[in-house]
Amino acid sequence: MKQSPNQAGMEATVQAVLKEFYTNTIVPVAEAEQLDPVELFNASIKSALYLKEQDAIDEHRSSFFTLKS
């Protein structure tokens, strides 16, 4: 399946942002804390995904319990 130019551009942007995050944030913290940078990166991504999922659940829950006037 061929990617559209827009999709390829988005993928390149995401890769660049993740590389910058890894290089400028994950590696220095991992070195300071003597942790594996790949494990720390994976944990950070999993945590962000979990928080996004919880936000969606909370939004749904609050809309369910909001009284309409």
Q: CA of 45: how far to CAs of 21, 30, 35, 49, 62, in Å?
A: 11, 15, 16, 6, 26
Between 12 and 68, the more confident residue is 12
Contact 3, 11 (CB under 8 A): yes
Joined tokens for residue 32: 């300071």
What pLDDT score was predicted for residue 30? Answer: 97
How many domains are there within the chain?
Answer: 1
Cβ neighbors of 44 (< 8 A, separation 6 or more) are 26
Between 55 and 61, the more confident residue is 55
What pLDDT score was predicted for residue 53? Answer: 93
Find the mean pLDDT for residues 21-28: 96
Is the per-residue pLDDT at 20 higher than 90?
yes
Query: Which domain, by its residues, includes 31?
Result: 5-65
Mean pLDDT over each residue of the chain, to the nearest integer: 89
